[in-house]
Amino acid sequence: MKYTRIPHTDIRISKICLGTMTWGRQNTQEQGFEQMDYALDQGINFFDTAELYPIPAKKEFYAVTEEIIGNWFKKTGNRNRVVLATKMAGPGGPGPFIRDEGFNKKEIVESVEKSLKRLQTDYLDLYQLHWPERNTNYFGQRGYNAHAVDLWDDNIHQILETFRDLIAEGKIRHVGLSNETPWGVMRFLEESKVHRTLPRVKTIQNPYNLLNRLYEVGLSEISMREQIGLLAYSPLGFGVLSGKYLDEIPPRKGRLTLFPNYSRYSGDIAVEATKKYVELAQKHGLSVAQMALAFVNTRPFITSNIIGATTMEQLKENIGSIEVNLSDEVLKGIEEIHNAIPNPAP
């Protein structure tokens, strides 16, 4: 395994992060335990979850994934071997049943307390806002709708004050963002630069993969200049970049087979691009999934690459991508495809 650090901290984390969002729906608790055991044995010490998980979000499954992780900590005693990240859902979005209110002090404190209880831990290493509460473009929306009704009042100072207090209490160690825009990241940074007692955001968890490289426009410069680490999610685009959905008969238990509304990476242009990436990988004797993951692993703004799997075979292949070195010829081929079909799935 290879390791990095959460920026502006001394916390050493694996370059591959274990994603958990299928545990409790596509995966049982027993399977989640098996994945955590294997990942830890392979040197992965960074796990990411969310109160929203498992997905697709549904009220009766709310926060089951956190409970599974907590049960594993209790069974194994491995909490001190894991850097643990979780996320607080915003109002609306994919989990409207979770909360009506935004990121006020009461909601943040209650959310942290509930996650601590479910995860059976006294502290969270990284606590992230899952998506912005203001009107902006995320979850596949290409453009910003400046005319949309937005009743949001800038409460970023109050959010950071609440996080400061939770850090002082030892309940969280560091804070991060998710599904954020360049404006949002810089606004949070501005507040902590002006008010030095407020905590600085350390990471941003946004999508990044061969079908969606929009992070490179704007946010990558912020990552490099401000040292905000990208925790890349959906590095295989909901599994599309494994090539398995190109088969005439799609996998029976595949996420997109079970949940066809997850179509973000399945449009005609994205399928066309995926075919070209599959051809490139085959030409060079590579697994297309490992090629796609190795590309993400080696970007200079990446702090950790969040992989997920529903089978142990997939998990082993995905973790194995850390050992894959892409030749200049492969990288050139990736850029040629990207230039011909740029960002078909934002």
By annotation, the residues acting in catalysis are 53
Q: Which residues pair with 302 in a beta bridge?
A: 230
The rounded distance, in Å, linking the Cα atoms of 185 and 222 is 8
Angle between helices 156-168 and 182-194 (to 10 degrees): 60
Torsion of CA 333, 334, 338, 344, to 10 degrees: 130
The rounded distance, in Å, linking the Cα atoms of 261 and 147 is 27
CA atoms within 13 A on the CB side of 306: 26
Q: Can you tell me whether residue 253 is helix, strand or coil?
A: coil
DSSP string of 182-230, one letter each residue = HHHHHHHHHHHHHSTTSPPEEEEE-B-BTTB-GGGTTHHHHHHHHT-EE
Whether the Cβ atoms of residue 346 and residue 140 lie closer than 8 Å to each other: yes
DSSP string of 255-292, one letter each residue = HHHH-TT--TT-SHHHHHHHHHHHHHHHHTT--HHHHH
